[in-house]
A and B are shown apart, each in its own frame.
Chain A
Amino acid sequence: MDDHRQTSLGPDPDLRKEAAELGADPEMIELRAEAAASAREGRLPADQDRRDQELQADAAAAAEQKRQRRYLVKALLRSPTFMIGLIILLFWVFMAIFSTSLTQSYTAQDAMSSLKPPSAAHWFGTDDLGRDVFARMMAGARTVLVIAPLATALALLWGSIIGLVAGFWRGLTDDIIMRGIDVLLALPIIITSILILSLFGKGTAIIILTIGILFTPVVSRTVRAAVIGEREREYVLAARLRGERSSFVMAREILPNIMQPIIVEGTVRLGYAVFTAATLAFLGFGLAPPSPDWGLTIATQRVFLQIAPWTVLFPALALASLVVAINLITDGLGRTFSK
């Protein structure tokens, strides 16, 4: 990298010529030449060596940047909030992918050993059909870790587009969009999703779409606020003076500068999406048995809460740990970046 720059700067320029071009007066040229000459002998940085110095400064700046980035990563790694959240999340992601080959079968029924308390054979006990609660708890991460992130991603995508358009155009467009958003925001999320799911049937894809749509208004409000803060900034005005299309200004000029609020909004929504997905499953609008989904499991097992609390307790714990982990990550990120 440095070598490349050095060659691009060309050979060492004649100091006097350079100074004369700058229009310096002769006395100064003499002084500088004198300083440079004696500096060269003493191998000291002087005016003539300024370019080398600048290259060094440049390298130092690059190093400093790298150092800062490393510092941020280190600070994150040292932040207990972030690390605990990350470890829990990674654990669930790992389990969602690999648990089926690591644990007992989560579907194998054993009528003989139904509702057995935790034991060596069944660490977290068994449910009413004699299925292993531990295996089901681990496998249950899969559905929620598919539904919640995809729904959040959809909400972010739509919300960003709507927010950008409303915030950038303002005026009548903004009024119409935002009144629509207000109406959507007034709808209770669970009841509306139940309505949609009753109309269009159940299924992972429909659940994802439903949660995505219902989270879009909140995201679009956040994005719109960020866009309004950005659109009067001078670089946007400069783009308008360049004759850029609105779509270019929105996507290329403004969007990269509002990624931070969008990411924060995304992590917050992710936590809510997990909850919403579990709630819908609990209410019977998610996946059908024998899916090991946590919300569904809690719903089907809750009648045994008094005689076999482990059947409900462990999936509930799993759900709580995932939501807490996501919130910890959000907090950790926020705190480290604001330092």
Chain B
Amino acid sequence: MSTVEDPQLSGDAAALDVRDLEVSFHRRGRRLPVLKGITLKIERGQAYGLVGESGCGKTTLAMAAMRYLASNGTLDNGRVLVDGQDVSELSEEALRKWRGGKVSMVYQDPTQALSPAMRIGDQLAEVYHYHEGMDKKASLEKAREALRRVAIPDPDATLRRYPFELSGGQQQRVVIAMALAVNPQLLILDEPTTGLDATVEAEILDLIEELRGRINAAILLITHNLGLVVRLCERVGVLYAGRLVEEGPAKQVFTDPRHPYTMGLLRCVPRFGMNKTDAALQTIPGTLPALGEPLEGCVYSARCPMARPVCMRREPDFFAWPGDGPDKGRQEAEKLPPDPAAFSPHHAEPVGEAERHVRCYFCAETPHMPHMTPVLATSLEERGAHEADVLGIDHVVRTFKDGRKQLTAVADVSLNLRKGETFGLVGESGSGKTTLAKCVTGLIPPDSGTITFEGGVLKSTAGKRSREALRAIQMVFQNPDSTLNPAWSTRAILTRAVKKLGGAKAGSVRAKVDKLSADVRVEPRFLFQKPTELSGGQKQRIAIARAFAGDPTLVVCDEPASALDVSVQASILNLLVELQTNEQTSYVFISHDLAVVRYISDRIGVMYLAELIEVGAAADVFSPPHHPYTEALFSSIPRLDFEEQKDRIPLRGTMPSLSNPPSGCRFHTRCHRFLGDICVNEVPPDQDVGDGHTYRCHIPPDELRRLQTAKDQGPAAEAEPATAG
């Protein structure tokens, strides 16, 4: 192993230099390898994105870099150098100083990174006190400065607050301020925006982007969201099953992926503007190998549509691309002897100074990787949408009590849903999406207003509804880990649902359960298992099968794929589309992911502060003229396309409280198209754009169209796909 420093920086070490790293965990008496042969380098001031699905070892790599491995984790081989310092050589005392001094980390959940019992000021000041030995006054002054640096409004007031008094976005700002407090050489961001709303995520991204120009820290960004990497990083590494499978400049890797896994990841994310009637989502068949599963050959071979026999025999090296990779890969593949026993044991990685590396023999062929083409959705008309409305929501209001305050979670919402139609409901957390959905299914009774279903008025709670109404309206929940009773076998779960909802006779229950599991593509052998033994995707498939047990007319899907990895998400979305095409089911589909909603929905409703502010066909809602809030939401999506980065429209201030919503137009406190007194004093009318597209704003459609199209500079950014109209 070479210990020569990077010659380009004349002796200056890279911010992070990981060499042939191997990490394993010990669990219940077994050694499970987690990372193998990881070699990567982040130069000073560089931002490096690490992507891959959950369980690939991303966080473990970060923890190894911090020397923060859990007590059952061991560093078996390789070295981690941060700013030239070998991490494993530090003493406990030096390690404490080093963490937070040279390296700092921002975790996914800001609420867990901040002590709930300490004021923000004290927590921040502590960092300066500990690392720089400042006295109380000086460190508080520095803390104030740090808050200013991360653009927190009114830093003086924030210093006196406790974490629970801040919003999620503000908390994450504080955590970032804390991480940057002592000018680290390396800043590790572990899913820094996961769990934040779209507009808040965009704010944090802006902040990180802006900070990059001012700090000299290198950034290691760990994320499953490829769009973030496109926006922030120069280089990217793709991790699969503890192996780096592809590495290189982010733009090159994402525009011309050379590893089938990278290609698969890029293909299974719906691009914004895609709809289910245009194209089916690509999926990656199979699942990630379990931790410690013995792997022969290429780690990805079991799921790779390009895999050939040689891939299953011997692991490919990390070939340079475009250099000698393509030829060398093929040559190596061809010259391998047919007898597996004759293979030489795995040798050290030939990682050179090349820009890009790919761990695939056939990287030259990746652009032609075969497509899978699952069922495409039929048009709305074919799904029977010309028939009468299935669901009507009429002036529904729901209020919750929070101590003495009244929180209106759903304020006078009306909408309707046709047969076979998918109604997408978007909005940030707290906008009332889930409450509205639960009113429909009868889990929460509305305070006033009526919900009609197939012409009849529904009873307010599930307990009062007839068996027929229960059968016809079902729900798919968000969390795959709690949606199935962990004490029941999968078969028992489905059998019970069929018995209660299907009205089937004893003899046919079994047949129906088998049909359901076949429809959701869960193999019969999994029916004997308990939910804890299934993967997240399988659990969600069973949950979908359970909802379909009585052949429902309407299924409410509350973020059904949000907790899943992108490849699994794609297969769940495909499954929902397929079931809808076959059964003419109507969906109410809730998601915070706009591209997903845009993909699966026929019509979309946008909720803001308990009100439905815009409704229209999926393509119309996301093109001008549309509500200023929708416009801002739309602009906040991190895109995968390098050319089409749009200017983001920042929202002012924070989300107002539901207990005291703003007067007039509820959005006026944050609106970038604020007109003046009229917005403050008068409730805006629903402007009709035509084709059932309405939005609640004082600006009339023609005026708004002119404003919104004028702002967009690039015509390319504005153009919807041809199919949208």
Contacts and interface: CB of A to CB of B under 8 A. Distances in A.
Contacts of B309: 35, 38-39, 42, 44, 46
Interface string A168-197: 000000000000000000000000000000
A1 to B, nearest CB: 10
A243 B474 CA distance: 11
B526 to A, nearest CB: 9
B373 interface: yes
Contacts of B482: 233-235
Contacts of B375: 23
Contact of A44 (B340, B373, B501): B340
A240 interface: yes
Nearest to A236: B485
A110 interface: no
Interface of A: 5, 8, 22-25, 27-28, 31-32, 34-35, 38-39, 42, 44-47, 53-54, 58, 61, 65, 68, 71-72, 233-235, 237-244, 253, 256-257, 339
B485 A242 contact: no
8 contacts: A25-B372, A27-B368, A35-B307, A44-B309, A54-B523, A71-B28, A237-B475, A243-B463
Contact of A237 (B28, B305, B443): B443
B340 A42 contact: yes
Interface of B: 28-29, 302, 305-309, 312-313, 338, 340, 368, 370-375, 441-443, 462-463, 465, 467, 470, 473-475, 477-479, 482-488, 496-497, 500-501, 523-525, 533, 543, 546
B462 A238 contact: no
Contacts of A23: 372-375
A58 B340 contact: no
B477 A238 contact: yes
A5 B474 CA distance: 33
Given A23-B372, A42-B309, A241 B442 contact: yes
Contacts of A53: 302
B373 A31 contact: no
A122 B107 CA distance: 69
A25 B308 contact: no
Contact of A22 (B372, B441, B470): B372
A234 B524 CA distance: 24
A240 B462 contact: yes
List the 4 closest pairs (A to B, CB-CB), nearest first. A28-B370, A256-B487, A234-B477, A235-B485
A257 B370 contact: no
B487 A238 contact: no
A212 B113 CA distance: 45
B479 A234 contact: yes
Given A46-B312, A237-B475, A242 B497 contact: yes
A198 to B, nearest CB: 44
B487 A28 contact: no
A237 B29 CA distance: 38
Given A235-B482, A241-B473, A339-B28, 20 more contacts: A5-B525, A22-B372, A23-B375, A24-B372, A25-B371, A27-B370, A35-B307, A35-B309, A46-B312, A47-B307, A68-B28, A72-B28, A237-B443, A237-B475, A238-B477, A238-B483, A240-B443, A241-B474, A243-B465, A243-B470
Contacts, number: 110
Contacts of A45: 312
Residue from A31, A71, A242, A253 with most neighbouring chain B CB atoms (10 Å) = A242
A73 to B, nearest CB: 12
B27 to A, nearest CB: 9
B312 A242 contact: no
A72 B309 CA distance: 40
Contacts of B306: 31
Contacts of A38: 308-309
Contacts of A46: 307, 309, 312
Contact of B305 (A28, A44, A242, A253): A28
Residue from B373, B375, B525 with most neighbouring chain A CB atoms (10 Å) = B525
Nearest to A239: B485
A49 to B, nearest CB: 10
Contacts of B485: 235, 239, 253, 256-257
Given A25-B373, A35-B308, A242 B496 contact: yes
Contacts of B340: 42, 44
A256 B441 CA distance: 26
Contacts of A68: 28
Nearest to B305: A28
B405 to A, nearest CB: 20
Residue from A22, A31, A65 with most neighbouring chain B CB atoms (10 Å) = A31
Contacts of A253: 485, 487
B338 A42 contact: yes
B525 A58 contact: yes
Contacts of A241: 441-443, 462, 470, 473-475
B29 A243 contact: no
A238 B312 contact: no
Contacts of B305: 24, 28, 31-32
A243 B467 contact: yes
Nearest to A232: B482
Contacts of B371: 25, 28
Contacts of B313: 44
A175 B467 CA distance: 31
Given A31-B308, A42-B340, A235-B484, A242 B479 contact: no
B463 A240 contact: yes
A22 B465 CA distance: 40
Contacts of B479: 234
A271 B491 CA distance: 40
Contacts of B312: 39, 44-46
A35 B313 CA distance: 12
Residue from A61, A68, A238 with most neighbouring chain B CB atoms (10 Å) = A238
Nearest to B369: A28
